Structure 1
Amino acid sequence: MKPGYCIVIPNYNHTQHIEHVLQSIAPLSIPVIMVNDGSDDVTTQLLDKLPSQFPFLEVIHLTENQGKGGAVMTGLLAASQRGYSHAIQVDADGQHNLSDIPEFIRLSQQSPDSVICGIPDYDESVPLGRLIPRYLTHFWVWVETLSFQIKDSMCGFRLYPLKATCQLIGNSRIGKRMDFDTEILVKLYWQNVPVINLPTKVTYPEDGSSHFQLFRDNWLITKMHTRLFFGMLPRAPRLISKKFKRASAEQRDTHWSATKERGSTLGIQLLVWLYRVLGQWFFRLILLPVIAYFVLTGNKARRASYDFLRRLNRYQNNQSPVRWYHVYKHFYQFGLAAVDKIRAWLGDIRRKDIIFHNVDAFEALRQSGKQKGAIFIGSHLGNLELCRAIGESDSKLTINALVFTKHALKFQAALDKFNPKASVNLIQVDTMGADTAIKLREKVDAGEIVIIVGDRTSVTQFGRVNYAPFLGEPAPFSQGPFILAGLLECPAYLLFCLKQSGQYHIYLEHFSDSLKLTRTHKKQQLQSIIERYAERLEYYCLKAPYQWFNFFDFWQKDDQEHIQRTIQQQEKHHSDDN
């Protein structure tokens, strides 16, 4: 690690986990400054002994308790005086995943002037009482910055650039207690310090202790938000201008695979908990502001929705303009579909709510037993996850889904929370190669079903597409799913699940007995197959256009001139608003 980095740990009567914290830091060879914030004699004596066990540790003693913020600021100023350029704030109670420290430093080395903020990814140990106040604070921070760039202002795991931070401490009043973490972050944002958000696991130890005092600290936080709100008002024109400059700086479109998954596992779990407690109709009301947030902050997805709905109108010779409420409806349907997926895995969707079309095709697959499986080619139209959940309850059908490990992991983690079976038949891959084909061939030969989507282009490669008419204009469709289907040498079906009039309609169409391609006519056959798929996708899309959940430029040319792939864009825009 570069010598310009150190770690600052405030400590007020934390003894249970402090040695474990230091043992976790030791392999990283990073100096640690621990600030004893007026702890009792037992803690002070323990801290005095630790430097002999951990030579990289320096302990600074405060004779009187200053509060968490006071201790952290003391440590930051001391780090600056000792010549460090950056300091990583870590709690002493063992909550933080310290193995993420190298990633904090890597991001900081790429953007030395930025503050790197941890976004907590909680496990089941988090007390529910901690969640609601966090979301209230998130709301006020978004108001105070007129931005959604700060994803979580309360996590005490972050990396500061010391020059800008110490200047702010010297020139501004910063809260010294539980109001510190939020206030210093908002004021750094006001000072044009870039913010990069980094997801990190946070665990609440069973024997951990908290120094949060309900009435005192909530009163301090209330006063802090009042100060910050009125401090925002004169800065509002500059903050708004800053927001628009950031948006206009996005000059090049990105590939769908470079779009980061939005939301958090915890947020999805909280929404589903509200659904289970309050019921469907109350939940629909709660979902209204949640979807409004995603519409307002999802610039690229919002533009993609406008573009799709305009193309749809042109194709249908509909002269009506696309309004904001049409886009909102599009997003809202996506929110409902996400909850329906979890409802399906909870068993809340009953058979009477489902209408199977082409029942003979389903029955033929059941009767085939273990003789031969099939491949289902689906899409991001409707609710494909619902089909897989229903298949789980059918003892005669084993349905596997091919997913890319780089995407949709948060939602899958939420599914796992409510039903571990949700991951049982997932086949997670990084790329479509020979290993993938062999694995899927084994599934099909065992009489199982494999689901793969046909409406996403390659995650890693350019040009592996065929263009086919879709809603009146050529759109790129990946060759990979159809070539893979041919290699499996099994029957191929098209699968769609649409929600219509409150019921779930599952359409299964026989597509081909085999999609195996001949060497002499491979290009022509592949083009014909993809055009047939695009035609059927278009047919069902017109049945339920608001259930088209490809929130990116679907008609974008698939070449290096027009789009950028995953890795570089994810790193470049790591700090961008979703």
Structure 2
Amino acid sequence: MNACLLIPHYNHGQQLAPVLERLAAMALPCVVVDDGSSAEELAAVETLAAHHAWVTLVRRPANGGKGAAVKTGILWARRQGFSHAVQVDADGQHDLDDLPQLLSLSKRQPDAVVTGIPRYDESVPRHRYLARYLTHVWVWVETLSLELKDTMCGFRVYPVAAVANVIEQQRVGDRMDFDPEILVRLFWQGTPIIQQPTSVIYPEQGRSHFRALEDNWLISCMHTRLVFGMLWRLPSLLFRKRRRKHWSKASERGAMWGLKTLLWLYRHGGRWLCRAVLPFIIGYFFLTGREARQASQAYLTRVNAARESQGLPSIGNGGWTSYRHFLNFGQAALTKLDAWSGKLNVGPAQFPNRQLMIDLFERGQGAMILTAHFGNIEIFRAAAESEFRKRINVLALTRHAAKFNAILAELNPRSQVELLQVDELGPETAILLQERVAAGELVIIAGDRTSATNFGRVHYADFLGQPAAFSIGPYVLASVLDCPLYLMLGLPGDPTPQLHFEKLADPLCGPRKTRNQRIGECVDHYARKLEQQVIRNPLHWFNFYDFWLRDDGQLVDKE
């Protein structure tokens, strides 16, 4: 990402000086586009540009409007080879402390526009605050969507190529109509738009260049054009992809129905009947689960590319391979029933780090164990129960924990496994688990699922060639519990399964700055270990959704 700052300027020399002083810390090149300022104001801006070596002044011959200045700056940025341009107003309205966050969001999704959603204080003129809602309503009509919350805030990070393409090929307003129109047109063409709350103030000595009559007329004409443009694009807008379902919503489709059916067969016919019927049950989910099927095939495409880069053969990504992927998930569920009922034979399992596990158990020390939706760790649960009678608390970010516990009690009343439903890894969860860890119990949680309720509590780590969101919740919880963190993955094997077990970190407590760095390093290590095993055993990783989708409320539906 190669970004520059872009400041449209018209007779704001006095207000521009403190803005540049604050932006200097960002260490980014800056272009100030003067839009025909008066001779006195232009001289002031020239002095500022000469004082700051990182500032380039581009002069327009006559005043054309804010939109014209931004267009000039975007085309200049493209000629200079910048990939992104950060639009900042010259009058000091924007909270520049939010700029690093906007840049971070843009870096995570370079093809997106990142735009501010204003949070106003008492300085905002009441009539201007209310007038914005008229534009909001028109934008919702023009996009047939409520996704764009505010299109008039000029604090944005633009992908230069996408915006330059629009302004060169389409008619976009040159004055105050530019900001809302460019967002609507980018929305029409499918450019992702990320919206970030930011504070906006109206300085007491501020000077507004909004012309009540002329600019309101131009904005009215703009909305008229956009409404007709919407009608032309009506079919594509109606069938436009909406926010994707979060895994916590997508994975609930028939999950309990399938498990209860498998449980009934297991009780009445044993394992052999389940194995006989399982392909048909899985076939039903495969044929009716279009999104899960598509996610499986997209994942297989990624993992094949990773395998080929390591000299491993492709396993294919067609319907039959995807069905085998689903079928392995069903067979893993059957193994869970064996473990929960106390019938799983752990004798042939391989434990390369068995002594590390034994030492943990014999010390009676509580710990958090990070796992994944990969292979099957039921070998560990069975061994922990049968050999050490170790109580295990499994944190479940689903709404079915109570039902799973009922099934466990019915299968095996002596089971030492308890599923704890948690909506978010917050203070309540920490309090709940503090006593259990102190008593030497184990806490197990999967590290390859993000929060089912909140956004943003993630760390992006490279996974199969692209950054993916991994929740930081388990690591923060481990630091609060002041307990060691282990990594455990059940590795498939025929006929002998294995268990990968290693110490991931000592207690992650300590100063916030150091702790956050250590958490990021732990997440990266976890992602690397999981990636290694997924590449070797691609049909045994069971996340049937778009794992690489950004953890962002504009893209994902968690409601």
TM-score band w.r.t. shorter chain: 0.5 to 0.7
Q: 1:291 to 1:520 in 2, by over 3 A?
A: closer
Q: Say whether residues 1:454 and 2:457 are aligned partners.
A: no
Alignment match, 2:306: 315
Alignment of 1:78-477 (within 5 A): 251-263=242-254, 265=256, 267-275=258-266, 277-278=268-269, 280-317=271-308, 321-369=316-364, 372-395=365-388, 397-407=390-400, 411-422=404-415, 425-477=418-470
Following TM superposition, by how much is the alpha carbon of 1:308 offset from its aligned partner in structure 2, in angstroms?
Answer: 0.9
Task: Give, in angstroms, the shift of residue 296 of structure 1.
Answer: 0.5
Deviation of 1:482 after TM superposition, in Å, equals 0.9
Moved more, 253-262 or 457-466: 253-262
Offset, 1:326: 0.5
Pairwise CA distance, 1:424:
5.2
If the length of structure 2 is used for normalisation, what is the TM-score? 0.53
Equivalent AA in structure 1 for residue 537 of structure 2: A
Tell me which residue corresponds to 1:482: 475
SS at match of 1:523: helix
Q: Offset of 1:439 from its aligned partner?
A: 2.3
| Stretch of structure 1 that moved more, 264-273 or 394-403 | 264-273
Aligned partner (choices 507, 510, 534) of residue 541 of structure 1 = 534
Would the aligned equivalents of 1:373 and 1:444 in 2 still touch at CA under 8 Å? yes
C-alpha distance in structure 1 between counterparts of 2:241 and 2:297, whole Å: 18
| 1:539, distance to aligned residue in structure 2 (A) | 1.7
The alignment yields a C-alpha RMSD, in angstroms, of 2.6
| Alpha carbons 2:394, 2:417 under 8 Å: kept | no
Match of 1:525 in 2: 518
SS of equivalent residue, structure 2 residue 245? coil
Partner-residue secondary structure (3-state), 1:521: helix
Q: Which runs of 5+ in 2 are unaligned?
A: 1-235
1:278 CA displacement: 4.5
The letter for the 1-side match of 2:495 is: G
Report if the CA contact (8 A) 2:367-2:437 is conserved.
yes
Kindly indicate whether the alpha-carbon contact (under 8 Å) linking 1:412 and 1:423 is maintained by their aligned counterparts in 2.
Answer: no
Taking structure 1 as the reference length, what is the TM-score of the superposition?
0.51
Q: Larger Rg: 1 or 2?
A: 2
CA deviation digits over 1:320-370, x for unaligned, max 9?
A: 64110110000000001111101112222112232222011111112202x
State how far apart, in whole Å, the 1-side matches of 2:285 and 2:556 are.
Answer: 24
Residues 471 and 538 of structure 1 are in contact (CA less than 8 Å); yes or no, is this contact kept in structure 2? Answer: yes
Q: Whole-Å Cα distance in 2 between the matches of residues 361 and 252 of structure 1? A: 44
| % identical equivalent positions | 42
Residues 267 and 511 of structure 1: CA distance in aligned 2, closer, same or farther (over 3 Å): closer
Distance 2:467 2:391 in 1: 35
8 Å CA contact retained: 2:307, 2:535: no
Tell me which residue corresponds to 1:492.
485
Question: Would the alpha carbon gap of residues 272 and 504 (structure 1) be closer, same or farther in structure 2, given more than 3 Å must change?
Answer: farther
In structure 2, what is the equivalent of residue 151 of structure 1? none
**In 2: Cα distance, 1:487 partner to 1:431 partner:** 14
Shift in Å, 1:313: 0.6
2:497 counterpart SS class: strand
Closer/same/farther in 2, CA of residues 270 and 466 from structure 1, 3 Å limit: closer
8 Å contact kept, 1:358–1:507: yes
Separation in 1 of the partners of 2:401 and 2:331? 17
SS, match of residue 555 in structure 2: coil
Q: Is 1:507 equivalent to 2:500 in the alignment?
A: yes
Mapped partners of 2:241, 2:307: distance in 1 = 32
Q: Distance in 1 between matches of 2:379 and 2:239?
A: 38
Asked if 2 retains the 8 angstrom alpha-carbon contact of 1:374 and 1:449, the reply is: yes
Query: Compared with structure 1, are the counterparts of its residues 380 and 366 closer, same or farther at alpha carbon in structure 2 (3 Å cutoff)?
Result: same
For 1:39, the equivalent position in structure 2 comes to none
Determine if contact 1:257/1:407 at 8 Å carries over to the other structure.
no
Looking at structure 1, the residues matched to 316 and 354 of structure 2 have their Cα atoms a distance apart, in angstroms, of 39
